[in-house]
């Protein structure tokens, strides 16, 4: 089964996302939809050996309003999962 990033919540400039089937060492990054640019300050690694959990990403002050999504890469740097689009205002 394919990894999934779901249930995106934003509160106090912190993104919380639930994931399923992401393995330890997977990298998750915030991506601006319009440009496809990854926001390097938001890179988070899955540290839990359990493939189900949640991760938190603190947004830097320089994040502009717009449409974004989270993208996960496996330990080999290959695409693993992508969240639904969400708005940052």
Answer whether residue 25 is part of any domain.
yes
Distance, in Å, from the CA atom of 44 to the CA atom of 26, rounded to the nearest integer, reads 8
Answer whether residue 88 is part of any domain.
no
The residue segments making up the domain with residue 28 are 4-81
CATH of the domain at 72: 2.60.40
Max alpha carbon distance in the chain (Å)? Answer: 36
What's the mean pLDDT when you consider all of the chain?
A: 95
In three-state form (DSSP H/G/I as H, E/B as E, the rest C), the secondary structure along 60-76 is CCCCCCEEEEEEEECCC
pLDDT in tens, 15-44: 999 999 999 999 999 999 999 999 999 999
Answer whether residue 87 is part of any domain.
no
Answer whether residue 16 is part of any domain.
yes
Residue 1 pLDDT: 81
Residue 8 pLDDT: 96
């Amino acid at each position: 089964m394919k990894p999934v990033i779901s249930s995106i919540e934003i509160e106090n400039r912190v993104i919380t996302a639930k994931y399923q089937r992401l393995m330890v060492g997977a990298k998750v990054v915030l991506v601006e939809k319009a440009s496809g640019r990854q926001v390097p300050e938001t890179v988070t690694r899955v540290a839990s050996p359990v493939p189900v959990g949640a991760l938190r990403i603190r947004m830097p002050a320089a994040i502009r309003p717009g449409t974004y999504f989270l993208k996960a890469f496996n330990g080999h740097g290959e695409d693993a999962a992508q969240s639904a689009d969400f708005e940052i205002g």
